[in-house]
Amino acid sequence: MGTLCLPPPPSPPLEALGPHLHRRCSHLLQSCTSMRCLKQTHSLLIRTGLDRLEPLVAKLISFCALSPAGSLDYARLIFAGIESPTTHLCNIMLRGFSRSNSPENAILLYEQMRTTGVSLDRYSFPPLLKAMTQALALGEGREVHGYVMKMGFDSDVFIHNELLQFYAECGSVLDVRQVFEKTPRRNMVTWDFFLGGLFRRGLFQEVVSRFDEMLKMGIEPDELILGTVISACGHAKDLRMGEAVHSYIDKRKLKIDSYLESSLVHMYANCGSLAQAHKLFDGMEVKSLAAWTALVCGYCKTGEVETARSLFNQMPEKDTVSWSAMIAGYVENGQPNDALKLFHEMQLSGAKLDHITLLSVLSACADLGALDQGRWIHFFIQQNGFNQTLSVNNALIDMYAKCGSLEDSRKVFNAMPMRNVISWTAMLTGLAMHGDGKAALELFYEMKKSNTKPNDVTFIGMLYACSHAGLVDEGRQLFVEMTKEYGIMPRQEHYGCMIDLLGRANLLDDACELVKSMPMRPNVVIWGALAAACKIHKNAVIGEYAAKQLLQLDPEHDGAYVMLSNIYASSSRWDDVAEMRKLMKDRGVTKETGCSWIELNNITHEFVMGDRSHPQTDEIYQKLHQVVSKVKLIGYAPNTSNVLLNVEEEEKDDMLLLHSEKLAVSFGLINVGAGSCIRIAKNLRICDDCHSFMKLISLGFNREIILRDRNRFHHFKEGSCSCRGYW
């Protein structure tokens, strides 16, 4: 960008020329439709000496700087040749720069006007502020705001409106509110900029309350304001106010254009009122892309993914937002495989990807433990410049950690040009999932040295790390530190981690005391953590009490029935086990089916208990029996304590062999090359028997196995597991 130089002091005034020639040149300038015509007229002005007359020069510059057929560069050349530009000429250039791709030139011109003493008037500030809005020049804008007040233009409603838009775009909500409160005469544009600014900063509830204030003042809103408020109601899930605004539109018989219709569909869908949303949608003459997308999102949020996909397939056109919405819907509803399939369809369609799409896709890879696909997406991210986006890098750290590759997580973390608390927390939580509590503590201290303040989620990750590494003293210290040093009051999740930590360490009395001392009523997380600890340490009395408390809070919690059944089965209380099974059946509660995944050549293979649907079923079961025979020779004895049926031991042994992770590892031994790591993901906690089984496979077959269950990662190698029994 070149420096804008204002010309030297003025030359002697031009002598009067004939009025006929002046009028002719003025007419020629007014009738110009191209730069060719403009340049011919400019040449005439130069030959006749009229190029120093301001009215004609102003028309020259106006055409070049403001007309679609003009040339801003040519306007700059003319402007640079003017001996003493007036405020009017400078204002034309300010307007031109504010509309261009180089708004910073307007800021340069403003600075030179101040330096050379060219005055600014009420017409100078709107284009200047518009340029600063484009450049997001908050510091310079605040200086201009001060100059506006000094010059006495702070009562000008047009300047106030530009200030509102400027501060809104720069994200300074405090300044937006202050300018709005000081605006003497608020017009519709003022309210539009103000409410729009609040909306862009996510202050949806304030938009709703300010709109109510606007109505009480007797101001009739236009379609733009109504659309903003309806969208805010949707984001705030304020159905009552959304319905009130809809009623306001109907009562006044206001025209509902496609923008308002789409906003209403989005509002009802986002508030969960899908019947009303669909009714409005069906009544639309022209169904906008935004309305289609809003309805798809609405069905995804209520878990009706198949309905959402049906609508998605019917869409006459799809943009990045609609593709991303459907992919996110699959991820949020526990269908990551479908999310990845749709992502590949999106690529084939030629639709443009954005960072929102990539966040959902990375989340799907993390859920599946699909490391190969995650690495391919990482490559795509690097090739397309998304690796400078902070949220994408944070998602990569999380994805690699959940796919079992802490090394790749570390590489992303170390290479990040900028980190926030989410970056540190993602890395800390990754270490915690893998049971490396000491490394998590070291990184936590490094985080503190970097002056990044931990938040409540950071402490959940750290307490989790201590719990899964048996670091009782360190966990207790962190629990105190979060309140005393950072003023973070413990939530249910923090208490749950502490009870889990104490329970795993067999400090059940301390865990019970902590439950009693809680300032809030214990929830399912608390009772679940205590019951699980009692199951590990076979404390039937406390375990039964905790599990029953859990069931009182959530009668449909399948895990509570399973824990109680485990407690009863370990004491051979088979009548009580049968009662639990009957209670589950009567209440319509079903135990979540165990499911394991293993990725091979970018394809995720899924197994459930007793699965016989896989194309390699015969080979898998043959391999499984070979594996069992081999590991029995090195000490494997089936642990039937988790089989909740009163059947013969031999039958229990057979049932254990059907567990999904055993089928997945057998598939891995057949298909994953010798010496390569076998990576498995499982939706439930791995049972004691499968845990022992994996350790012995790693020893007997000289294989590293990385298994991610619901709680954490297990790295099986040479007959040992990284969890050291803490799982």
Query: What whole-number distance in Å separates Cα of residue 260 and Cα of residue 230?
Result: 8
In a domain, 211, yes or no: no
Domain range for 436 is 419-477
Query: Could you say which of 564, 591, 618 is where a domain stops?
Result: 591
The count of domains in the chain is 3
In a domain, 626, yes or no: yes
CA distances from 56 to 52, 70, 74, 663, 714 (A): 8, 16, 15, 86, 80
pLDDT at position 364, please? Answer: 94
53 phi and psi, to 5 degrees?
Answer: -90, 120
In a domain, 482, yes or no: no
Query: What whole-number distance in Å separates Cα of residue 652 and Cα of residue 687?
Result: 14
**Which pLDDT tens digit goes with each residue over 544-597?**
899 899 889 988 888 888 888 877 877 778 888 888 888 888 888 887 888 998
pLDDT at position 477, please? Answer: 96
In a domain, 462, yes or no: yes
In a domain, 525, yes or no: yes
Q: Which strands sit side by side in the sheet containing 713-717, from one edge to the other?
A: 603-608, 595-600, 678-682, 705-708, 713-717, 720-721
Query: 665 and 574 in one domain?
Result: no
Query: 584 and 542 in one domain?
Result: yes
Query: What whole-number distance in Å separates Cα of residue 121 and Cα of residue 494?
Result: 59
pLDDT at position 456, please? Answer: 95
Three-state secondary-structure class, residue 558 = helix
Query: 711 and 630 in one domain?
Result: yes
| Dihedral (Cα; 163, 169, 173, 175), 10-degree rounding | -20
Top mean-pLDDT range of 148-157, 180-189, 519-528? 519-528
How many CB atoms within 10 Å of residue 428?
27
Of 365, 357, 352, 348, which Cα lies nearest the Cα of 389? 357
pLDDT at position 446, please? Answer: 96
pLDDT band of residue 19 (cuts 50, 70, 90) is low
Q: What is the mean pLDDT of residues 378-387?
A: 91
pLDDT at position 18, please? Answer: 56
- Residue 5, pLDDT > 70, answer no
Query: 495 and 447 in one domain?
Result: no
CB 4 within 8 A of CB 112: yes
In a domain, 672, yes or no: yes
Query: What whole-number distance in Å separates Cα of residue 534 and Cα of residue 570?
Result: 12
Query: What whole-number distance in Å separates Cα of residue 330 and Cα of residue 351?
Result: 18
Query: Which conformational region is residue 171 in: left (phi greater than 0), alpha (psi within -120 to 50 degrees), or beta?
Result: left
- Residue 643, pLDDT > 60, answer no
pLDDT at position 599, please? Answer: 87
Of 409, 393, 401, which Cα lies nearest the Cα of 366? 401
- Residue 154, pLDDT > 50, answer yes
Query: What whole-number distance in Å separates Cα of residue 59 and Cα of residue 300?
Result: 56
Length of the chain: 727
Strands 713-717 and 720-721: antiparallel
Half-sphere exposure of 275 (CA within 13 A, CB side): 0
pLDDT at position 615, please? Answer: 93
CB 234 within 8 A of CB 242: yes
Tell me the torsion sign for CA atoms 250, 252, 253, 255.
negative
pTM listed for this prediction: 0.72
pLDDT at position 502, please? Answer: 95
DSSP of 671-719: HSPTTSPEEEEESSPPPHHHHHHHHHHHHHTT--EEEE-SS-EEEEETT
In a domain, 85, yes or no: no
- Residue 335, pLDDT > 50, answer yes
Query: What are the beta bridge partners of residue 597?
Result: 606, 681
Q: Report the CATH number that the domain containing residue 547 is assigned in CATH.
A: 1.25.40.10
How many CB atoms within 10 Å of residue 48?
15
Query: Could you say which of 558, 573, 591 is where a domain stops?
Result: 591
Query: Could you say which of 536, 564, 591 is where a domain stops?
Result: 591
**Which pLDDT tens digit goes with each residue over 427-475?**
999 999 998 999 999 999 999 999 999 999 999 999 999 998 889 999 9
CB 424 within 8 A of CB 399: no
Query: 620 and 587 in one domain?
Result: no
Token duo for residue 103: 């708004």
In a domain, 683, yes or no: yes
**Which pLDDT tens digit goes with each residue over 103-115?**
899 999 999 999 8
